Structure 1
């Protein structure tokens, strides 16, 4: 009997295989599995009744789950045999490098985070700091799909009616002065750092955001939760 993958993450279905033989045939097999102290579940395995390789799948389980299982085989003479196994589910590694601060708006007072990767990212424990030392937001248990945006509004701004309270950060945000916004992963490793140190002191009516070329510009039209509309005034020299 075998199972794969050997390093099981919380996104993985686990495939169990077993080679079963009996000269008189009539073989059937099931996986009987148990997650922690929960009740047992049974999954039918597929394979040739005359004997050979049987396969079944245990569905993905939450991180930290201890899964015990056994393959129970029967034949036409009602002779039963079984083999046992177990594994512990670990959390799937997250590629936080695919997150970036995509847009800052000191008028509508929002910060936008973008997942530019190809896989969803678990955001629980992500932190945002303002001006180096001020922790202004920690993410709850949520995920960000690939190509999706997460918009955080300041508690000092005009928050859209009915907006999720977990997406409100505890600081102001100005359009007319220097500011530093840092994004950290749950282990306190820096993901992104927007540090404006040479703001010209003008109150811009739009947003500061990333153009399609990956560089920061003043953008006339704010686009919270959507693709940025490229600006024409470069912010080169502001950082």
Structure 2
């Protein structure tokens, strides 16, 4: 009798494990690190689009879909090198606005779609070297950018990702520019109701904590990193803000949303 019960339990356990395994593997692929090259596109340039596509099962196909000036979509089959897939958009006419995304199908038939990206042919090359993450506050739930350069920086298409979720930006900038020395203040959707004056375009769609490790990455429209705050070994709860000194080092300092930071020697440790 005991042998029969033991065999029955093994059968049930095996069936349960099989079901869990099947559920675990079901779902669409993950698409991340979507980039295009060259970043400044001329009418002579074919543009190579790359994306990292991963799936617990196998990826059956990946397609790059693009349109010109809002026209009908065109498709290009992508080729794989490991988990990195690439496709080429042919050279386009001067001033053409190209919008594209990547779609992937896995062996179970699930379809994954990336966020859209765009570029303008022969657009003015933008120097983002003066753009910085300037202040991060997990208590009052805001992020702040600053232009520390000497010229206006167009921000359209600049985006922020949180905790390495590169396929899901928490904020993408609209058509605006940041003047030299100017700040751009973003509040979390978690506190949007307490900041009714804040326009929707300046709301980031995630939380922000002062009590745990966090990574905030700032990218240009082509997907190249501009700035990266990567706290991997939090030493203490931030009393107010993670604040950027004039020497670009991060320190704990009182919150100064939309204004110049207070210099501090209480430096943030645990950053990569």
Bin the TM-score by the shorter chain.
Answer: 0.5 to 0.7
Q: TM-score, normalised by structure 1?
A: 0.60
More off after superposition, 226-235 vs 146-155: 226-235
After TM superposition, the score normalised by the length of structure 2 is 0.53
Match of 1:231 in 2: 264
Post-superposition offset of 1:234: 1.1
Q: Which has the higher strand share?
A: 1
Number of aligned pairs?
152
Runs of 4+ in 1 over 4 A off after TM superposition: none
- 8 Å contact kept, 2:170–2:204: yes
Tell me which residue corresponds to 1:211. Answer: 245
Q: Which residue of 2 aligns with 1:105?
A: 137
Residue matched to 1:181 = 216
Q: 2:199 and 2:179 mapped to 1: Cα distance?
A: 18
For residues 199 and 236 of structure 1, what CA distance do their matches in structure 2 show?
7
Cross-structure match for 2:177? 143
Mapped contact 1:103–1:208 kept (Cα < 8 A): yes
**Does residue 164 of structure 1 match 2:195?**
no
Query: 1:157–1:172: 8 Å Cα contact kept in structure 2?
Result: no
1:199 and 2:199 equivalent? no
CA contact (8 A) 1:129 1:135 kept: yes
In structure 1, distance between residues paired with 2:228 and 2:256: 20
More helix per residue: 2
Distance 1:108 1:152 in 2: 11
Give the aligned CA root-mean-square deviation in angstroms: 1.9
Larger CA Rg, structure 1 vs 2: 1
Residues 166 and 96 (structure 1 numbering): CA distance in 2 closer, same or farther, change over 3 Å? same
Q: Structure 2: which 5+ residue stretches go unaligned?
A: 1-93, 97-120
> In the TM superposition, what is the alpha-carbon distance from 1:98 to its structure 2 partner?
1.3
